[in-house]
Structure 1
């Protein structure tokens, strides 16, 4: 069972710098939601901006954001380097969160447990493979 919490290390509206991929050193993450799960522990939902993910799905051939990623608190702790802002306006994440939540509740989704840069690289590989299949 998931419960929303607002009293952990990471808070809604925080913007953090993190150990990004070398060509995305200006990328930041925004904490959009925090929850606790009985078995998985703290889950930090983030929005990433300032990325350079290749994808032919966009007219310029790349995207600069990932709207929603559910992560273990440990993966965020390992990745963040500097708190940039608190109480920032939240970006649009609700649709991505709801898709994840529906799949999670049905037993078909989990959370990321690796550093953020690895998540981004893995997602870029998945997007690239899907685009090549089309």
Structure 2
């Protein structure tokens, strides 16, 4: 798969709250970074975090409006949909994919500064 195909499959798994599909795409050394800069490292811990997230926020999904992928790296602009307003709204993602596995999933607030920092 291409980087774009992999990150879209990863996001589709998030939309479906499908931990099996997500687990097939998470690299063993995966790093998840939330907008506050908190990190979760390692496949088992990341999947445990997603399990709790899906239970707490059913129906959460990301809508990608603009994907820029080059090699293993992708920058995405879009928005999140969630009943909880803290998680709904514009967002940016920085993603790294190696050998069809997502190694970095970094969610950021959609600000001009963050857009510049990831090249959007």
Superposition TM-score, scaled by structure 1 size: 0.35
Superposition TM-score, scaled by structure 2 size: 0.38
In terms of fraction of residues, the more helix-rich structure is 2
Which of these two proteins has the greater Rg computed from alpha carbons? 1
In terms of fraction of residues, the more strand-rich structure is 2
